[in-house]
Structures are given as C-alpha cells and as structure tokens.
Amino acid sequence: MHLMLTQCFPPKIGGIENMMGGLAETIAASGAELLVLADGEPDPSAMPGYQIRRYRGFKPLRRWLKAKAAERVVRAGRVDAVFADSWKSLERFQPSGQPVICLAHGMEFPPHPSEAKTARIRAALAKATRVIANSHYTASLAAPYVDAGRLTVVTPPVQPQPAADPTAIAEIARKFGTGLTIASLCRLEPRKGIDRLIDAMSAHPILAAARLLIAGDGADRPRLEEMARSSPAAANIHFLGRIDERQKAALLTFCDVFAMPSRREGASVEGFGIVYLEAGWYGKPSLGGTDGGAADAIKDGETGLLCDGADGQAVASALTRLLSDADLRTRLGAAAQDHALAQTWARKLGEYLPSSSPNAVDLPVPTGL
C-alpha cells in the first residue's frame, strides 16, 4: 500500500491540489492500494478508487493528528512508500524505514529564512529518501536544505485535457469576435504578469487590434480591471472570471497564444506553471517569464517564448513577434502539443515511484541563507 500525506488536495483548487489529485488517481489506476490523509472537508460527491481520510480544525492540531495516524499505518507494516506534498507534511511525521518521497514546488522555501525556519526545513527533508522538485529553479531553492544525492527534478505531468465543445467555442466567438486572441488563465495576483499584458495591448498596432481574454479571479482583479478601463485598448480586454473545465477547453482551443509572463514579486514566484502544458495540449504556444520555473515548462523558441516578465517592453515585443508571425505560431504550437502529450501521468508515474533511479542535480546554492 502507498500512503499520501498532503495539505493540498481536491476539491480545493490550485496547482499543488491538481498535482496531488493526479498522483493519487494514477497510483490507484495502476492497481496499487492507496490511503490519502488530507486536510479539508470531506467531499460527498467524490468517488475515488482509493481511501481518503480528512482532517480539519486548528492547523498545528490537524498536522499532529495526521502524522500520528500515518505513523500507526506504517507501524502496521503495510506501507510500501510514503508521498508528501511538501516538507510541511513531513515535519511531525516519523517514518519507519519505508521510502519517503517529498515533492517540492518552490513557494515553501522562503528567500531569507530564520535559523529556526532553516533548521525546521532541513529536519523535515532529512526524513525523505527522495526530494522531487518540479523545476530546476525549485531545485535550486531546495538545494540548501537537502543533499544533492536525494534531490532530483521531475517536471509535473499534465492531466489529459477534454476536447473542446464546439458550442462553447462558438459562444466565445459570438461574445468577443474572431480576430487574433491572447488568452491567460491564472489566479489574479501580481506575479502572474497580467498587468504587463494589459500594458502591452496598446504598445503595437497588431496588439491593439487583438483581444486579451483573462480567465481567473483573485485579489489583484480590481487593480487589473482599473488598468484595463484606462487602457487605449480597453474595448478589447475582457475579464472572464472563474471558468470550468468545459470553458477552459474552449478558451484554449479558441485563442492563438497563451500568455502568463510571470515574474518575481518579493518571495512569490512561479515554481513551474502547469497551465503552459495545458495550453500546449490544445496546440497553442505560450509566453512565459524567465524568472522562476517556466523555463522547464516552455522550451524557449521551440514550444513558446520566454521573456523578462518584469519588463513591459520585453513582454510587448514577445507578444508582437507571436501575433505577427502565423508560421511561427503554428510551428511552436505543434511542438507544444507534442511536448504536452508526452507529459501525462500515465507516462511519468514511474519517475515518482521509489523504484525509479534518482538523477541528482548539480545546482548552485542560493545566497542569503
């Protein structure tokens, strides 16, 4: 049996939640028995092919209760491997000799941790037989806390994406027209770079004539909407709000380019960006930022373009290049689709299992720790 310890799990929405949910589903589909110990409320509508127990209440208490439950399971001698969504899920858990695989996403490693925080992270990761980072950037953040022989990079798989509903595609065309379209889909926060996209829409005639469709919600939405209202291209900038999977498939099928030129904002930076692979699934090239893990999700000049997401002129230039060259979009989009189709859970599960051979990464240790 496999055991999973996670704070982030469906039906909560988010990249780590999708990652852990996909891993659970794929382990179960492989025929292995799985027990998930997760935070959050029970989901009465869920019918997973594995066991799941939920823990609620005060965070330190639920972490302790979850760890004690996990220790009882491993002491029973039935666990082949333990999977943790981050070092935080290992902190109070004491393994009993089983392989322990801990995932690393990026945001859980602060840029300037205190000595006490550093010691906590190192002690937690010392329990892991393998630490799997989602990008080389994230691995560089984890490197000060774990020896290189236990640290490896496995880029996250993408879940198979549904075919787009022609009715939903037609609805987008009816609402917004059929000209060149840039799409973005993310939690609306400064590091995602949506403000740079809005600024870029008035930087070149081909951008001013295009449509920018922004899906998602978040605390930064009021500021972004005010920017859009003040833009000379305001009539072509549209906020879609939260969208479901059917609407996402239609949006990514309809658009010509996907753009999320992420950047660093304080301690906040994109660890990978699974949405770039989701766009690629539909044959669309992506524009991402160079700061963070997008370089592991987008092959620059092959499946999309990378630029300095903090530089508005760089964002506008990259978008102009993409929208001005249909042959380039076609070539990048085809390669992006091939790449995405090769990154499914069915193809990559073995890279997460204890039997796979870890490839240690040789990375510089960030300064300032």
What is the domain-level CATH number for residue 185? 3.40.50.2000
Does residue 369 register a pLDDT over 70? no
Does residue 344 register a pLDDT over 80? yes
Confidence (pLDDT) at 356: 52
pTM, full prediction: 0.86
Q: Are residues 86 and 58 in the same domain?
A: yes
Please, are residues 191 and 268 in contact by the beta-carbon 8 Å criterion?
Answer: yes
Q: Which amino acid is at 34?
A: L
Please, are residues 361 and 153 in contact by the beta-carbon 8 Å criterion?
Answer: yes
CB burial of residue 98 (10 Å; 0-12, 13-18, 19+) = middle
Band of residue 359 on the pLDDT scale cut at 50, 70, 90: very low
Q: In this predicted model, what pLDDT tens digit does every residue of 125-147 receive, in sequence order?
A: 999 999 999 999 999 999 999 99
Q: Are residues 136 and 183 in the same domain?
A: no
Give me the number of domains the chain comprises. 2
| Element counts in the chain: helices (H) and strands (E) | 14, 13
Q: Are residues 83 and 170 in the same domain?
A: no
Q: Are residues 143 and 207 in the same domain?
A: no
Q: Are residues 184 and 251 in the same domain?
A: yes
- 320 found inside a domain: yes
Q: In this predicted model, what pLDDT tens digit does every residue of 27-52 receive, in sequence order?
A: 999 999 999 999 988 877 777 899 99
Q: Give me 189's structure tokens.
A: 């926060």
CB burial of residue 60 (10 Å; 0-12, 13-18, 19+) = exposed
Q: Are residues 251 and 321 in the same domain?
A: yes
